[in-house]
Each structure stands twice: as structure tokens, then as C-alpha cells.
Chains A and B, each alone.
Chain A
Amino acid sequence: MSTHVIVGAGQAGACAAVAMRQIGFEGRIVLVGREPGLPYEKPPLSKNVLAGAAGTLPPVIFREEAYSHHSIETRFGIEVADADPQARTIALANGETIVFDRLLLATGGRARRLDLPGAEHIATLRTLDDAQRIRSGLEDRGHVVCIGAGVIGLEFAAVARAKGCRVTVVELGSAVMERILCSEVQRFLEEFHRHEGVTFRFGARPVAVELLEDGRKRMMLEDGAEIEASLIVAGVGMERDVALARRLGVDVDNGILVDEFGRTSNPDIFAAGDVAAFWHPALRKRLRLEAWRHAQNHGIAVGQNMAGANVPYQDVPWLWTDQYGLTIQISGLPKEADHCLYQEGEKPGSFVGYHLGRDNAVVGATAINAPRQARAAQALIRMNGSLPDKLRAELKSSLQAAARAHEHGTI
């Protein structure tokens, strides 16, 4: 009987385990995860787990009975201690050694920590433990500081404002969600946060943090400014956990290198989710995505391929973020566009931006409270299509109409 071992029980690992069984793999499946308890969805950690009542938990990916129903052996709360590519063994911290025929590395990553004196006083947000600690830090409604104006930072800022905290966002770059959004939507979103009471400091580099006697923290910036806060959270990206991949001798380059089937340089070792740097055959480039749906669908595709399916993974990249009452859905690769056209959505204040590349092909879309348009745009991106003439006639070259609707309080 063949054995598939999955290391990493996040969205990708858990989905891969079930997917390989559903497609007909009859061998042994062992799912190993570092965190105790059932695998859970991570997006709510920076949303309703922070915003909700104490003890609010994110939904589990699969209920406990699903693992027994699919005969998936679980090892939750257990670290991998060692691995041997020749003997094809994974040694667990509980003393168990498992011989694998095929191995999936879905090890994700850890929140990046800043390298500065006093960094231990800066919280990061990646796990349920992290979220619960940060949640209790919001209780005193003091001044909170977020380092980084990316998705995690802005979601944290929105929740902290809703809870009545004073919020400052410190960002080294010059815009919010700088790696993802086009400049006009960046300005819209920054303005939205300012309207909600968030203070931004762009071009600001933290150099040290010290703990004050009353438990608060003081952060020093490179320009000499000092900020005192009851809580400092860094949302400055993640570091992919490639330690096990290196020990197994598979190729790594800022992520585990895999082909469109999820295969590493070792044909019996696969990788999926946040940790994978995968070849996207439709976009003809290597991508590294840190997003929930990618982790889910990449996990499913690679799990199926481990069971013999041979299906290339080429989903349109997609992520969403919730901030205040805004649901922002970003499809494709907006940053690859050279210009953008906007359409008002069905609801007041909602809109979608179509990001156009060479030959006016739609390469990305940013939808704010406009899920149906987001879905339609994804179909265009998938086909590498240009805008239909009828749609093109309705589009505007700026976001002003939507911004006006917001000023009138209709969002």
C-alpha cells in the first residue's frame, strides 16, 4: 500500500488530503500539522476573530468526522523533527517515523519579524494564538500602531478603529497595499481609512522599540520621531518555511519551486499553497501567492496530481480583504496593467476597476463591493480577453463617481 504524507495542515494541506482521497487514492494518508486542533481557515484571524467576542474561533476547514470518514490519519500539534530523502522517511517530534511514497510540503510560512532592538515587543498575526493575543490587546482601546499598510495591517487597522482604538499605520513605502492595488484604488482606500480616523505615516522606518514601565511601548522611527502605543503589530509579510524542503534537497528559490502540477525537483515530492513558487502555464510566469483561495485550490489540484490526475493548476489569482464595510476582491495581476478603467457597481458606492495590459487585454480587476462584476472580470482574465465593446462604452477613466457616492455616505 502506497503512503502519502502531507506536512503542513493549513488550507492547502487539509484540502490536498481530502482531494486525493476523493479522486480515488486508496493508500495511506497522513496529515501532519504543527498547530494543535483541527485545521482552520486563516482569513477570519484578521477579521471577525479580532472583531468578535472573546473566544470567537475561525471555522474549521473540515469537521473532525471528515478525516475519519476519508481515513486520513492526523498528527496535529506535532512538529517534523527530521527527514531523509534517500530512506523516504519523515521523523516526527513524537518519535514516530513514517515512510512515504509521495510527500506534499504545505508548510506555509511564518509572519516576518522586523530585525530591530526590542522586536520582541512587536506582535505578529499568523496563527489563532497570535489573533487571540492581539484581540485582548485591543481591549483597553488605547493607541495601537500597525507597521505595514498591506492587507493584514489594514484589516487590523479597520478592526481596531471599529473597537474605538486610536490607530496609526506606519509604512515604509508610499501607499497602502502597494504591491497589489493600482494607484487610484490605493488613494481611494487610504482616503477611506483616513475618513474612518486612521493616521498614516508613509516613508517611515521603525528602528527600535522599548517597553515602558506601564507596559506600553515606545517605537523610534529613523527620522527621530517617537510613537507610544499600547500595542504594536507588524504586518510585513511572511517568510516561507522551506527548512524541510532544503533538508530533502529539493530546489528552493524564495519558496519551493514546483511545476504546473505541483511537482518539485524530486518527482515524488510536491509542494502547494503559500510555500510554493509555482509555474503558471497560462500567465507563463512563476508566481508566489499568499492567499486563501489559492492555498485551497492549489492544495486540491496538487493533491489530485499526487493521486495521478495530471491536471495543470492555472487558476486566476484572486484574493479578498474586508475593511469596514468594504469587501475588496482583487483578481489577476493588476500591477501588470498599464492603465485602468472603472465601472460603477450595482450598489451605491461600489465599483470595479479593469486593469488593462498590452492590446487592451484585461489582466486584472479590483472590485469594491461588486462581487458579480469581479466574477465576470475573472472570466475575461482567464480568456486573456479584451473588454467587450458594450462594457467598454460604460467605463470611466477615473474613480470620481464612486468617490462622490462615498462622500454622500451611501457606502
Chain B
Amino acid sequence: MPACDLAPGGMVGLEVGDRAIALYRLSDGSFHATDNICTHAYALLSDGWLEGDTVECPLHGGCFDVRSGKGICAPITQDLATYPVEIRDGVIHVALGD
């Protein structure tokens, strides 16, 4: 996906094989990727709310730090998987590790 398609402060959900990945571009311009499905109950984080470097689940309000995947408020008890992101020739590459 071209990096210019994701504006700062934006996020998008992607299907990669059978995995759902959320891609974020923070207001400092940095790109980050996590699993897109909340660890609490089934919901896509990309339907939620991105504020600073925190994504809030659209269903029950659980929050994650998109840089580290760490759950930072109730009801989250399990962190999110994160994936390295690289921009090469203006295209976003996410390393899913397999």
C-alpha cells in the first residue's frame, strides 16, 4: 500500500492471508502495525478511535499502545502482537514474520 494513502492520525484494516492487520500512521508521521482484532472480544480496532499513539476498541473501550501493542486500560488483560513496518520507495511493507 502506498504510504501517501494513509494520512497522519489515520489507520486502516488489512486482510493479509487469513490475518487481520491494523496499520497506523501517527501524527509524528511514524507507521506501526498490530493485529487488528481486539484481545478482549471480537472487534476490529481499525473501526475504533486513534488518539496520539493509543487505539481504542470500538466495542468496549479497551486501549492499546500501537507502538508496543501493550494493553493500557481495562478490560484488556492481553497485549496485541505488533509487526515491524518499513517504507520502501513510498510503499508500506509490514513484516509478518512468516
Query: Which listed residue (A41, A63, A293, A372) contacts B61, Cβ 8 A?
Result: A293
| CB-defined contacts of B61 to chain A, threshold 8 Å | 293, 318
* Residue of B41, B56, B61 contacting most chain A CB atoms (<10 Å): B61
Known contacts A293-B61, A371-B58, A375-B56; is A63 also within 8 Å of B48 by CB?
no
Q: Say if the beta carbon of A297 comes within 8 Å of chain B.
A: yes
B41 contacts A59, C-beta separation under 8 Å: yes
Q: Say if the beta carbon of B74 comes within 8 Å of chain A.
A: yes
> CA separation between A372 and B46, bound complex, in Å?
10
Q: Say if the beta carbon of B75 comes within 8 Å of chain A.
A: yes
A61 contacts B75, C-beta separation under 8 Å: yes
A296 contacts B56, C-beta separation under 8 Å: no
> CA separation between A376 and B40, bound complex, in Å?
22
Query: Which listed residue (A66, A300, A318, A372) contacts B77, Cβ 8 A?
Result: A66
A372 contacts B59, C-beta separation under 8 Å: no
Q: Say if the beta carbon of A62 comes within 8 Å of chain B.
A: yes
B59 contacts A62, C-beta separation under 8 Å: no
| CB-defined contacts of A15 to chain B, threshold 8 Å | 74
B75 contacts A371, C-beta separation under 8 Å: no
B75 contacts A372, C-beta separation under 8 Å: no
Nearest CB on B from A385, distance (A): 17
- Residue ID in chain A nearest B41 by CB atoms: A59
Nearest CB on B from A21, distance (A): 14
> CA separation between A302 and B55, bound complex, in Å?
25
- Residue ID in chain B nearest A318 by CB atoms: B61
B48 contacts A327, C-beta separation under 8 Å: no
| CB-defined contacts of B40 to chain A, threshold 8 Å | 59
| CB-defined contacts of A66 to chain B, threshold 8 Å | 77
A63 contacts B77, C-beta separation under 8 Å: yes
| CB-defined contacts of B41 to chain A, threshold 8 Å | 59
Q: Say if the beta carbon of A320 comes within 8 Å of chain B.
A: yes
A300 contacts B74, C-beta separation under 8 Å: yes
| CB-defined contacts of A63 to chain B, threshold 8 Å | 77
Q: Say if the beta carbon of B60 comes within 8 Å of chain A.
A: yes
Residues of B27-42 contacting chain A, CB below 8 A: 40-41
Residue-wise interface mask of A (310-340) relative to B, using a CB-CB cutoff of 8 A (1 in contact, 0 not): 0000000010100000010000000000000
> CA separation between A41 and B62, bound complex, in Å?
14
A372 contacts B47, C-beta separation under 8 Å: yes
Query: Which listed residue (A292, A293, A300, A372) contacts B58, Cβ 8 A?
Result: A372
| CB-defined contacts of B47 to chain A, threshold 8 Å | 371-372
- Residue ID in chain B nearest A47 by CB atoms: B41
B48 contacts A372, C-beta separation under 8 Å: yes
> CA separation between A184 and B62, bound complex, in Å?
30
Known contacts A293-B60, A293-B61, A320-B59; is A371 also within 8 Å of B48 by CB?
yes
Query: Which listed residue (A296, A320, A327) contacts B75, Cβ 8 A?
Result: A296
> CA separation between A63 and B77, bound complex, in Å?
9
A375 contacts B74, C-beta separation under 8 Å: no
Residues of B58-81 contacting chain A, CB below 8 A: 58-61, 74-75, 77
10 CB < 8 A contacts A-B: A15-B74, A59-B40, A59-B41, A63-B77, A296-B74, A300-B74, A320-B60, A327-B59, A375-B48, A376-B49
Closest 8 A-B residue pairs measured CB to CB? Answer: A371-B58, A375-B49, A296-B74, A371-B47, A15-B74, A62-B77, A300-B74, A296-B75
Q: Which residues of B contact A (CB under 8 A)?
A: 40-41, 47-49, 56, 58-61, 74-75, 77
A327-B59, A371-B48, A376-B49 given; 16 more Cβ-contact pairs under 8 Å: A15-B74, A41-B75, A59-B40, A61-B75, A62-B77, A63-B77, A66-B77, A292-B60, A296-B74, A300-B74, A320-B59, A320-B60, A371-B47, A371-B49, A371-B59, A375-B49
